[in-house]
Amino acid sequence: MIRRAARPLSRLALLAVLTVVAPGVPPALAQRSELVAFERSTLVIETERAKHRFDIELATTPEQQRQGLMFRNRMAAEAGMLFIYDGTAPVSMWMKNTFIPLDMLFIDAEGKIVKIVERTVPQSLETISAGRPVTAVLEVNGGTTSRLGIKPGDRVVHAAIKPRVQPVAPR
């Protein structure tokens, strides 16, 4: 009996598999061992008029924070990435190897959005910061904050952002 060697996957089939495994990441990069995985979660942004739910990825380790949304070609409309830092500190971001425009929401320890930088320029090396210490940064698709009416002063609700409990005055 003669056995034929198994045919390797066609490029089209390989592309389909990689698209399912790593949505939004170009197939050539999805194979790279340097890319890190992210835990998924949800958060809510409370505005004066509405509560907006986002499906997010969490960037909590230095490796995850270095990679962020680099190498993505797309992101779902109500998706994002939440960068969570140990304590409150000055934070600077950039768009190196980031192929989609983003809105960056800088968040203080109380969950309040203190600054929004809208429609950042893909692949720019310009430093983007809040100009003050923050606890977290949420990146969403460019234009999302204006589309949803999100502005500084609105509140981000997520388990990783724990506002201090205000003491109750005795009666």
Give the residue extent of every domain in the chain.
36-157
Q: What is the pLDDT of residues 38-89, one digit of tens each?
A: 999 999 999 999 999 999 999 999 999 999 999 999 999 999 999 999 889 9
How many H helices and E strands in the chain? Answer: 4, 9
Does the pLDDT of residue 164 top 60, yes or no? Answer: yes
Q: What is the pLDDT of residues 2-17, one digit of tens each?
A: 333 344 444 433 334 3
The predicted pLDDT at position 168 comes to 61
Tell me what the mean pLDDT of segment 101-118 comes to.
97
Identity at 99, one-letter amino acid code: F
The predicted pLDDT at position 31 comes to 47
The predicted pLDDT at position 35 comes to 87
Question: Does the model's pTM come out above 0.85?
Answer: no
d(CA 91, CA 33): 27
Q: Would you identify the CATH topology of the domain 36-157?
A: Jelly Rolls (2.60.120)
Neighbours of 122 (CB within 10 A): 14
